[in-house]
Structure 1
């Protein structure tokens, strides 16, 4: 189970680095190359969304079937273990949501760059005519 979360952590880190690369103020030629390369990567990377959604469903199922430790019968060690598992589940849920959100942000940024490029080309054609 821990391997899945390590993989998702690396994916989120890579998406964050890619989002940073796409949003940095590069010269126009370099920026267009980065955006086109990122656009090519986006379609195969859409599997990240399904992976994160599956992990969220797994977290929900585990939360619903978790043994509750709220009564006076629980020892302090059991209560500590219960709280640690809750914190881990919350961290993992944030990780899943951030993976989906970063993917969406990158795809929107690439789409906006493509639209801006098309508008600049249309403006150039209108000026030439």
Structure 2
């Protein structure tokens, strides 16, 4: 079970690196090659969204069917295990949400750069006429 969270963590780190790489100022030639490379990666990376959604559903189901440990009957060890599981599930929800948000941010950044390149080509064409 932990492997899926490790994979999701690496994907989030990779998306953050891509977003950082796209927003760092660079020459136009380098920036256009980075944007084209990232745009090629974006379509296969779209599988991240259903994966994160499935993980969120799994967290929700486990949360709904988790045994509550709030009464006086619970021992200290059971209460600690319950709280640890709660914190872990909250961390995983943040991880899933950040994966989706970072994917959307990278997608929008690439789309903006492509739109800017198209507009620059149009301006160049009008200047030549």
TM-score (norm 2): 0.98
Greater alpha carbon shift after TM alignment, 27-36 vs 119-128: 119-128
Distance across 2 between alignment mates of 1:96 and 1:59: 10
Normalised by the length of structure 1, the TM-score is 0.98
Equivalent in the alignment of 2:123: 123
SS in 2 for 1:66: coil
Correspondence 1:58 to 2:58: yes
- Looking at structure 2, the residues matched to 27 and 111 of structure 1 have their Cα atoms a distance apart, in angstroms, of 18
**Partners in 1 of 2:102 and 2:25 — Cα distance?**
19
Q: 2:123, 2:13 → 1: CA distance?
A: 38
1:127 offset after TM fit, Å?
1.2
- Count of aligned positions: 129
Alpha-carbon RMSD across the aligned residues, in angstroms, is 0.6
* Offset of residue 79 of structure 1: 0.6
Shift of 1:98: 0.4
Partner SS, residue 30 of structure 1: helix
Distance 2:18 2:126 in 1: 34
Runs of 4+ residues deviating >2 angstroms: none
Deviation at 1:126, TM superposition (A): 1.1
Unpaired runs of 5+ residues, structure 2, are none
